[in-house]
Amino acid sequence: MTTSTVGLAPSTVQPWRPFTCRVKTLRRLSPSFLRVTFASEELRDFADNGYDQRFKLIFPAPACGFEKLPAGERWYSELRSLPEEEQCRVRTYTVRAVRREAGEVDVDMVLHEPQEDREAPAARWALSAEIGAELMMLGPDARFDGPHGGLDFNAPEGAELLIGGDETAAPAIAAILERLPVTARGKAFIEVPEAADALALDAPPEIEVHWLAREGADWGTRLIPAVTEAAASLRIAPALETVEDIDVDIETLWDLPEQTAPSEAYVWIGAEAGVVKALRRVIRQDLGLPKECGAFMGYWRAGRDAD
């Protein structure tokens, strides 16, 4: 295959492109977090947009690695039409850091033992990751002169911030906090498996960062009450609008405004879908946060694989 054209029209610079890379270093940050540094000459063109920049990690197919990964604009639908053993698995991650001059991208991955009945390609890869292992990234191309997409944090200037997430959102929250202006104010809550997973973060002085350890409890046990209490203290002018209920067992909870508006408060929540549904109900329906003042992303569901 020609990896330089995956998902792109030939000889055309698009917002996103594929990057072939290899694992340069592996650093265990805590019991649940592994920092993987990917490197290649191609990554000198990986855009450094900061905040919660999403991208795709593409894992090799069990039977043929990347040999049959399709090229062209319809690469994903063509990929899914291949036999199961020839399909590369695709998962969404957040960029933790970009060093374009060195051709390096850091990705923080959550470590956990996958259930026997779950495919969990990313979790299995992370547990056995080795220096030199090849992966593909589909991410923002710095050569493109325009917005890349894949950024959902869009707080109005001066708004009081309420940020919350579980361990899967911790890299995004860390990257957001690093890019905030020094005058930013608010609270951030990060629920993690255990107390030893709390990491040192670079946050503005008026942002309170709270690490919430589940210690074996269910997802959201600590996050839901902490964020609910913090949300109740926000200065919110209630919006008179109907908040659509979302069945997280059959559809993705991805509630984002088309654009933000000046506001005294801004909320960003990323976590397990059932947890986000509960918080969205409190913050948008009960407290009346207008749609343009918050982002609610339930991008994974407990007990289910996602592709």
Domain regions of the chain by residue span: 3-140, 160-300
Asked if 151 contacts 95 with a C-beta cutoff of 8 angstroms, the reply is no
Q: Which residues contact 87 (CB under 8 A, 6 or more apart)?
A: 61, 79, 80
Cβ contacts of residue 65 below 8 Å, gap of 6+? none
Q: What is the pLDDT of residue 48?
A: 97
The CATH code belonging to domain 3-140 is: 2.40.30.10
The domain 160-300 having CATH identifier 3.30.413.10: the answer here is no
In angstroms, the CA 225 to CA 216 distance is 17
Token pair 């590369």 is at which residue? 88
Compute the distance between CA of residue 19 and CA of residue 4 in angstroms, rounded to an integer: 7
| Predicted TM-score (pTM) of this structure | 0.92
Strand order in the sheet with 253-255: 206-213, 185-192, 160-165, 265-272, 294-300, 253-255
In the chain (307 residues long), the average pLDDT of successive 10-residue segments reads 43 88 98 98 97 95 89 87 91 96 98 74 92 96 95 94 98 98 97 98 97 96 98 85 84 86 91 96 92 92 66
